[in-house]
Structure 1
Amino acid sequence: MSLTGLFLCTFLVVHLIGNLQLFKNDEGYAFNNYAHFMTHFTPIKVVSYLLYASIILHAVYALILTLKNKAARPIGYHQSAGNANSKWNSRNMGILGTIILVFLATHMQNFWYQYKFGTTPYIEYHTDLETGNRQTISSDDLPANYDGYKSFVKNGVETVKTKDLYKQVAFTFQNPFIVLLYVVAMGALAFHLIHGFQSAFQTLGFDHRRYIGLVKTIGIWVFGVIIPIAFAIMPLYFFFKG
């Protein structure tokens, strides 16, 4: 659980950096190029399979550990004050993880599945390399002769033809229920990581007093505050942008 959890934390950082392209005022040019790169560059595809396996293993081991804990003490305590020696999020990691799992399934269906197999819109970017001016041709449907991502330069004009995942994101985040799910899930992620990040290092034996303070600081401020807030801002940005 510790190793898969830390790998997933690393992925969150990379995923956030890439998704920040959504805030560029370029009609999705940077984000759509990023989306194509992430889904077609072979080393990234291999890492993606490791990511899917890590999510599954993390969830399975969570269930196994929960069952082992219950089996170790089939009869509960007559009286228990958990808040006396543990924090709320550490006692409810399963609930937080379940919320995150529901979010992941929704997220994959809305974007990964739609991008690979669904009805993601289409866009062409024509950029004059001398002036930097860019024109776009957009369609809600892929053209009949669409044969994948194309990028080429002709007569000083760069042409990029691709699926418009940016438009798919903007459309999806007009649904208030989807936006609410994302915001709640990022709240669950924050509490999950505040405990999980530090706990992973402790499980692996890296809990010396010289650096445990730094681990806790990173766990709280980077993974418990900055990353969840940044991800939560994205659906809110598109929802209120309209």
Structure 2
Amino acid sequence: MSEFKQTFNSSLGKKLIMALTGLFLCTFIIVHLSGNLSLFKHDNGQAFNAYAHFMTHFPPIKVVSYLLYLSIVIHSVYALILTVSNRKARPVAYAAQPKSPASWSSKNMGMLGSILLLFIVIHMKDFWFNYHDFAGNSTVGYKEYKTDLKTGEQISAVDLPAGDYEYSVSTENGVETMVAKDLNATVAIAFKQWWYVAFYVLAMVAVSFHLLHGFQSAFQTLGWTHRKYSPVVKFIGTWFFAVIIPVGFALMPVIYFFSR
């Protein structure tokens, strides 16, 4: 077995893979939240539907998306492997639990990760899978938007009857017409169900605690620690990834449920 294989088959190697895939997923959720903020625009979903089309059809983004799916699988599998290995290494619990500075989130990363994996599966099924219509029974319809290019104001937003359409943007007499899949309507329906909103918020709580430990842990695993910069990493991990990002995601279903 080569030194390369030995390294990545070791406990440290698995942790390195966890750290790298985890940081890649952290960059994705920033982009994902940035795009999803368009849901807050009062434009009948035009900006969000344009964003959804771009994210699923722009070739470089599609390549990154496949890397994302692969990272989720690898991150989940290696997390399971490390959890099982740790339990095998210590099959019998200590008679007296030693005092440890480990946080609650670090002790429950397996549970938090399981909640997130379940959320990702449901989320992908309801939105990504439905949007792509792999099974031929998509509930995502199409919508036509007309915008006055001179004033920038939306003239109309009309649901199109069932039929074969493609995403298109055309201009005639100063009026832009956009036809797009109406994923915004699917989101609105999902976020009107109290149980879905509750599960979404619970998943964001899990994201918060997962990243509270995971972001800083990734830098430690990679050896990227320094007396001067570690406090900055801790600040970003705590306030940006464990507070701002989860709160931003959680606000979407809550606002839709109560005001849309």
**Which residue does the alignment assign to 2:242?**
224
CA apart distance, 1:73 = 2.1
Counterpart residue number, 1:179: 197
1:197 maps to which of 212, 215, 226: 215
Q: Which runs of structure 2 are paired with 1:9-88 in the superposition (5 Å)?
A: 9-81=26-98, 84-88=100-104
Deviations 1:61-101 (A, max 9, x none): 0011111112222332122145x321111000000001111
Contact 1:123 / 1:136 at 8 angstroms: preserved in 2?
no
| Secondary structure of 1:151 counterpart | strand
Asked if 1:166 corresponds to 2:184, the answer is yes
SS at 2:179's partner residue? strand
The whole-number CA distance in structure 2 between the counterparts of 1:18 and 1:225 is 18
1:143 is matched with which residue: 140, 159, 162? 162
Please name the residue that 2:12 is paired with. Answer: none
**Worse overlay, 55-64 or 120-129:** 120-129
Per-residue CA deviation, residues 183-229 of structure 1 (Å, 9 max, x unaligned), is: 00000100000000000000000122111100000000000000000
CA–CA distance in 2 between the matches of 1:130 and 1:212? 50
Distance 1:194 1:218 in 2: 9
Aligned equivalents of 2:104 and 2:147: distance in 1?
Answer: 53
Helix, strand or coil for the counterpart of 1:86? coil
- Aligned amino acid, residue 20 of structure 1: L
Letter in 1 for 2:156: T
Cα shift at 1:44: 0.3
In structure 2, C-alpha distance between the alignment counterparts of 1:109 and 1:136, rounded to whole Å? 30
| Match for residue 145 of structure 2 among 114, 117, 125 | 125
Unaligned runs of 5+ in 2: 1-17
Secondary structure of 2:228's match?
Answer: coil
User: Residues of 2 paired with 1:202 and 1:46: CA distance?
Assistant: 29
Q: Give the partner amino acid of 1:120.
A: V
CA RMSD in angstroms comes to 1.3
Match 2:116 to one of 100, 110, 125: 100
Instruction: Point out 4+ residue stretches in structure 1 off by more than 4 angstroms.
Output: none
Amino acid at match of 1:143: A
| Cα displacement (A) at 1:142 | 5.2
Question: C-alpha displacement at 1:132, in angstroms?
Answer: 2.8
Query: How many percent of aligned residue pairs carry the same amino acid?
Result: 55
2:141/2:162 contact within 8 Å kept: no
**What's the offset of the Cα at 1:42?**
0.5
Using the alignment, how far apart are the partners of 1:73 and 1:182 within structure 2?
Answer: 34
Q: How many residues align?
A: 239
